[in-house]
C-alpha cells in the first residue's frame, strides 16, 4: 500500500469508484470547429452546456464505451509505440525537461500501456498518476510492477473527469494527438485535467501544437473517387 493513499493497491493499480458526473471528452471525429490552427491551452474551454446534455444521453454513453473498448486491446498501442518518431520525441521532451520533472508529481492523461508514465518515473518524478479509462489500464499496472516502479507510478483505471486524487500535480503529460492533430478529440480531457489538477505555473507536455496544410493534386485519386461516379454502368451518379 502507498503511505497516505489507502485506496491504492500495492501494485500501483487503483480502480476508481463509479460516480455519475458529466462527461467532457468528445469522441473521435466529433471535434468542434476551430477558428485557428494554432492551439492555445489558455483559450480553450473544457466544455459547453449543450455538449453536457448530449454526452450524458444513452446514445453518447454507448459511443463512449465503444471509444474506450477500441483502446482496450494491445494491438493499437503496439502500433503507436512502434512509431519511433512519435515515441522518441516524447522521451526526448521528457529528458529535456528532466529538471522540471525530477522530484515532482506528474499526471499522464490517457496513459495506455504506461510508457510515458514510466519515462517520467525514470526521469526522477516523485509520483506519477497514470490515468487510463480503457481496460488496458490493467496491463499498464502489470508493466509498472514488472519494471519495479509501483512505488512511483500509480495506475488509475478511470476517466480523468472522474478521477479523485489527494494532491495537485506539477506536470501533465498526454499523447492526445490523432490524425490531423485533432482527430482523437481528446484535448478537452487534457484541458479538464489542467483546470482541476495542475498547480499554478505547472508544466504541460506538449503545451502547443501547430497544424500546417497545403493544397495538393492527386489526379489518380480524384479519378477513382470522383470521376468514377460519372459513369456507373452507364448511369451518371455524380
68 membership: H or E segment, kind and range: helix 58-69
Report whether 161 contacts 22 (CB < 8 A): yes
Residue 175 is among the residues annotated as catalytic for this protein: yes
Judged by DSSP in three states, 192 sits in: helix
- Cα–Cα distance for residue pair 54/30, rounded to 1 Å: 12
Nearest residue to 161 via CA among 202, 134, 189: 189
Q: What angle do CA 212, 175, 36 make, to 5 degrees?
A: 30
Q: What is the pTM of this model?
A: 0.66
Please, what are the domains in the chain?
13-213 (3.40.50.150)
Phi, psi of 13 (to 5 degrees): -110, 125
Residue by residue, pLDDT tens for the chain (238 residues) are 333 333 333 334 455 544 433 333 333 322 333 333 233 334 333 343 444 444 556 765 665 655 555 555 666 657 777 888 888 999 999 999 999 999 999 999 999 999 999 999 999 999 999 999 888 899 999 999 999 999 999 999 999 999 999 999 999 999 988 777 877 678 889 999 999 999 999 999 999 889 899 999 999 998 889 999 999 999 999 8
- Cα–Cα distance for residue pair 16/2, rounded to 1 Å: 16
Own/partner contacts of 194-198, CB < 8 Å, gap of 24 or more, are 194/41, 195/46, 197/107, 197/163, 197/165, 197/168, 197/169, 197/172, 198/107, 198/168, 198/169, 198/170, 198/172
Q: Determine the pLDDT at residue 60.
A: 59
Residue 184 is among the residues annotated as catalytic for this protein: yes
Residue 134 in grid coordinates? 480503457
* Catalytic member of 20, 167, 175, 220: 175
The sign of the CA dihedral 106, 108, 113, 115 is negative
Nearest residue to 39 via CA among 207, 232, 225, 203: 207
- Cα–Cα distance for residue pair 185/43, rounded to 1 Å: 16
* Catalytic member of 132, 158, 161, 184: 184
Amino acid at each position: 500500500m502507498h503511505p497516505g493513499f489507502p485506496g491504492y493497491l500495492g501494485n500501483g493499480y487503483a480502480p476508481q469508484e463509479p460516480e455519475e458526473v458529466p462527461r467532457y471528452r468528445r469522441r473521435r471525429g466529433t471535434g468542434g470547429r476551430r477558428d485557428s490552427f494554432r492551439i492555445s491551452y489558455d483559450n480553450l474551454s473544457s466544455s459547453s452546456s449543450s455538449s453536457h446534455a448530449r454526452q450524458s444521453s444513452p446514445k453518447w454513453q454507448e459511443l463512449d464505451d465503444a471509444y474506450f473498448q477500441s483502446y482496450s486491446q494491445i494491438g493499437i498501442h503496439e502500433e503507436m509505440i512502434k512509431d519511433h518518431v512519435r515515441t522518441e520525441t516524447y522521451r526526448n521532451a521528457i529528458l529535456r525537461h528532466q529538471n522540471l520533472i525530477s522530484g515532482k508529481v506528474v499526471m499522464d492523461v490517457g496513459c495506455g500501456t504506461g510508457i510515458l508514465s514510466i519515462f517520467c518515473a525514470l526521469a526522477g518524478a516523485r509520483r506519477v498518476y497514470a490515468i487510463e479509462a480503457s481496460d488496458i489500464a490493467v496491463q499498464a499496472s502489470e508493466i509498472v510492477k514488472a519494471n519495479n516502479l509501483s512505488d512511483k507510478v500509480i495506475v488509475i483505471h478511470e476517466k480523468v473527469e472522474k478521477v479523485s486524487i489527494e494532491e495537485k500535480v506539477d506536470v501533465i503529460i498526454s499523447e492526445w494527438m490523432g490524425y490531423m492533430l485533432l482527430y482523437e478529440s481528446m484535448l478537452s480531457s487534457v484541458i479538464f485535467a489542467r483546470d482541476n489538477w495542475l498547480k499554478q505555473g505547472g508544466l504541460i507536455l506538449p503545451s502547443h501544437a501547430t497544424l500546417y496544410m497545403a493544397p495538393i493534386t492527386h489526379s489518380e485519386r480524384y479519378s477513382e473517387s470522383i470521376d468514377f461516379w460519372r459513369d456507373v454502368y452507364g448511369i451518371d451518379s455524380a
